[in-house]
Amino acid sequence: NAGVTQTPKFQVLKTGQSMTLQCAQDMNHEYMSWYRQDPGMGLRLIHYSVGAGITDQGEVPNGYNVSRSTTEDFPLRLLSAAPSQTSVYFCASSPTSGSSYEQYFGPGTRLTVT
Amino acid sequence: QQQVKQSPQSLIVQKGGISIINCAYENTAFDYFPWYQQFPGKGPALLIAIRPDVSEKKEGRFTISFNKSAKQFSLHIMDSQPGDSATYFCAASSQAGTALIFGKGTTLSVSS
């Protein structure tokens, strides 16, 4: 199993540009999530999904969209990038149906918005 | 409102010593308390986790101590090694919840 994979590893955007961060898992996990990590702030939940076709907002959802058309994929879209979205983004998945227990994280995408 | 408070922010320990990181939570509905280890440039990795029905869980050199009445839990790293140098995050979640709530992290440096 490849586990949780994320692409790209690094990305630089200009203010106002849009892009999609890709996340995929091959473990057949129902629960998937997106976090952002900023210095001194820990990890904060952006959006999550408890299964295909079901998504919901986390603590910091503004400026981000998600969709979940398959169990494997959970892309994160930045609609109009802002410097405040400069961060490291992590995707995670959990084998525990309907809950966020035992989340396994991908390697992250480091995003810089200029 | 920070639901999981972690301390200290940074920690320096001599090789062979004991590293102790503490966390306190507010939500009594939390019933799952994991610790994650993160090396620079990598994603967090699940290290060890505990449920509130036990007061201690040990896996190798890593031990979680849990105090339900005080709403506190801690990570103890025995015989700390330079390879343990990393950032450690505590977290909490509940059966009814849909998110892991993370502490802000502790950067551990083990000097040789």
Contact flag A45-B97 (C-beta cutoff 8 Å): no
Query: Which of B32, B43, B103 is opposite residue A105, by nearest beta carbon?
Result: B43
Closest B-chain CA to A99:
B98
Question: One-letter amino acid identity for B7?
Answer: S
Other CB atoms within 10 A of residue A19 CB: 15
| Mutation for A interface: B39, B98, B101, B102, most A CBs within 10 A | B98
Tell me the average pLDDT of chain B.
Answer: 93
Query: What would the pLDDT profile of A43-97 be if each residue is shown by its tens digit?
Result: 999 999 999 999 999 999 999 999 999 999 999 999 999 999 999 999 999 987 6
Q: What is the DSSP letter of B100?
A: P
Question: One-letter amino acid identity for B101?
Answer: I
Q: What percent of chain B has pLDDT over 70?
A: 96
Query: What would the pLDDT profile of A10-50 be if each residue is shown by its tens digit?
Result: 999 999 999 999 999 999 999 999 999 998 888 999 999 99
Query: Which of B42, B98, B105 is opposite residue A42, by nearest beta carbon?
Result: B105
Q: What percent of chain A has pLDDT over 90?
A: 83
pLDDT of residue A39: 87
Q: What is the mean pLDDT of residues B82-93?
A: 96
Closest CA to A49 of A26, A89, A76, A27: A76
CA–CA gap between residue A27 and residue A22 (Å, rounded)? 16
List of residues 6+ apart from B53 with CB closer than 8 A: none
The string of DSSP codes covering A42-104 is EEEEEEEEEETTEEEE-SS-TTEEE--SSSSB--EEESS--GGG-EEEEEEEESSTTS--S-E
CA distance A56 to chain B (A): 9
Cβ atoms of A42 and B105 within 8 Å: the answer is yes
CA distance B17 to chain A (A): 25
pLDDT exceeds cutoff 60 at B1: no
Residues of A in contact with B95 (CB under 8 A): 99
Output A102 or A3, whichever has higher pLDDT: A3
The residue written with tokens 């029905």 in the block is B53
The residue written with tokens 């998110």 in the block is B99
pLDDT of residue B99: 82
